[in-house]
Amino acid sequence: MPIFDQPRRIELEFQRAIEKLLLTRLEIPAGATIGEILERINRIIQSETAFEKLAVLFSTRMVGQVRAVNARSWREAARKAGRGREIYSALQKELQGPIGTRVQELIRENAQLISSIPTSLRESVVREIAGLEQQGLRADVVAEYIRRRVPQLAGSRAALIARTETSKAVAALTQARSEDLGIGWYQWRTAKDQRVRPSHKIMEKVLVRWNDPPSPEELDGIASNLGKYHAGGCPNCRCVSLPLVTIKVIEFPARVYHDDRIERMSRARFIKFSGMERAA
């Protein structure tokens, strides 16, 4: 696995866990009415305690797995940069400081998202019911369609959360560890395939400062409400951030993001601009 890449196996395990959590509670029998389908979803929303406990369990497992994989990536990067002892020591004690706080925040944020699925599912179901009824379909036809549709909607939501939140966990831990180690820059890398959105292709290999996230859409002249974010920080993003432990791995001249634009810099110019003499 490339260093700091998204752990696809962890994402799929997280998705399957969420789907199982939902679908075992959404077994809707044939012949169920629209009211019975909505009541089944409402019961999940109302039984918050048991659902939330499992959501926390799954989130804890996912974040813990991401943390372990991310730590291995850090050790490999440190070894290649000749900073192995320093970074290994930081990894040993990190849960006692800001990294431990960020881990707990990630677990809480993910658990809340999982717990919100039944509510968002009910909203989607109600919208689809209204649309079908406006078409003049009989109630039993609508109910049967929705009965078959509910697992698809739940699975789609589970996949989106798993993909987005696993990526965000990787990005958040990479950033937290970078800041803890005083590493202020990273290189934005894409998945380099046809699914990469055009605005993110612009960011391929661009050097970014952690305290100055870009708006790829704005750089591409696209209207968007995503705002500014780091690699892996928006829905469905598969990009990753490679911390600049050393600039020896960077090909110069390199593209550098700052002040809402991308500038091509020589090695000497970037060292002076970034203050990364130690990493040179």
pLDDT tens digits, 104-115: 899 999 999 999
Picking from 269, 19, 37, 274, the residue whose alpha carbon sits closest to that of residue 159 is: 19
Calculate the average pLDDT of the chain.
Answer: 88
The number of beta carbons lying within 10 Å of the beta carbon of residue 143 is: 22
Q: How far apart are CA 173 and CA 229, in angstroms?
A: 15
Are residues 71 and 89 both part of a single domain?
Answer: yes
CA angle 148, 136, 39 (to 5 degrees): 45
Task: Quickly tell me which residue has 């970078």 as its tokens.
Answer: 178
Are residues 31 and 145 both part of a single domain?
Answer: yes
Are residues 15 and 65 both part of a single domain?
Answer: yes
Split at pLDDT 50, 70, 90, the class of 94 is low
Is the bond preceding 253 in cis, omega lying within 30 degrees of 0? yes
> Considering the domain boundaries, does residue 104 fall inside one?
yes
Which pTM does this prediction carry? 0.83
Picking from 46, 14, 23, 19, the residue whose alpha carbon sits closest to that of residue 157 is: 19
pLDDT, tens digit (0-9, with 9 covering 90-100), for 39-78: 989 988 887 677 788 899 999 999 999 988 888 888 887 7
Are residues 58 and 164 both part of a single domain?
Answer: yes
Are residues 169 and 191 both part of a single domain?
Answer: no
Q: Residue 243 forms beta bridges with which residues?
A: 186
Q: How far apart are CA 212 and CA 27, in angstroms?
A: 47
Q: Is the pLDDT of residue 86 over 90?
A: no
> Considering the domain boundaries, does residue 262 fall inside one?
yes
Are residues 166 and 214 both part of a single domain?
Answer: no
Split at pLDDT 50, 70, 90, the class of 254 is very high
Beta 185-189 vs 240-243: how paired, if at all?
Answer: antiparallel
Kindly give the interhelix angle for 98-134 and 48-81, rounded to the nearest 10 degrees.
130
Are residues 196 and 74 both part of a single domain?
Answer: no
Q: What is the pLDDT of residue 23?
A: 86
pLDDT, tens digit (0-9, with 9 covering 90-100), for 113-154: 999 999 999 999 999 999 999 999 999 999 999 999 999 999
> Considering the domain boundaries, does residue 280 fall inside one?
no
Domain range holding 125? 8-180
Q: Is the pLDDT of residue 95 over 60?
A: no
Of 144, 160, 180, the domain-final residue: 180
Structure tokens at 179: 């800041």
> Considering the domain boundaries, does residue 1 fall inside one?
no
Are residues 155 and 224 both part of a single domain?
Answer: no
Q: How far apart are CA 257 and CA 264, in angstroms?
A: 9
pLDDT, tens digit (0-9, with 9 covering 90-100), for 13-32: 999 999 998 888 888 999 99
Q: What is the pLDDT of residue 1?
A: 39
Are residues 88 and 173 both part of a single domain?
Answer: yes
Give the chain's domain count. 2
Q: What is the pLDDT of residue 88?
A: 66
Q: What is the pLDDT of residue 198?
A: 96
Are residues 93 and 140 both part of a single domain?
Answer: yes
Are residues 125 and 237 both part of a single domain?
Answer: no
Are residues 127 and 245 both part of a single domain?
Answer: no
